[in-house]
Amino acid sequence: STDRDMAIKTRLRAAGIDCQSFNASLLTEPWEIKNGAGQPYKVFTPYWQAAREHLTDVVVEDAPKSLRSLGHLP
């Protein structure tokens, strides 16, 4: 849930840990890709062409060797 995610991010930031969240169920957020009129696309092909320009390469970093515990999270 978004409430749970926000609570976790708040605890992490309070502990001085930078964090980001990402949408795992959609390729892009619905408001990120708009047509020339500023509206959502209604046809897939033009959307996909615009989305491919919007998407960037993912940089994969090595996993940390250890993690600090933050105690109980909601």
Q: Count structural domains, the chain.
A: 1
What distance in Å separates the CA atoms of residue 68 and residue 21, rounded to the nearest whole number? 19
pLDDT at 35: 95
Rounded to whole angstroms, what are the CA distances from 59 to 24, 55, 56, 62, 70?
Answer: 16, 12, 9, 10, 26
Residue 37 lies in a domain: yes
Residue 59 located in a structural domain: no
Amino acid code (one letter) for 13 = R
**What pLDDT sits at residue 28?**
81
Residue 74 has pLDDT above 90, yes or no: no
Domain that holds residue 28: 2-54
12 within domain boundaries: yes
In a domain, 68, yes or no: no
Residue 34 pLDDT: 94
| Mean pLDDT, range 4-10, rounded to an integer | 89
**Does residue 41 lie within any of the structural domains?**
yes
pLDDT in tens, 17-73: 998 887 778 888 778 899 999 999 999 999 999 988 888 777 888 998 998 887 877
The pLDDT assigned to 54 comes to: 82
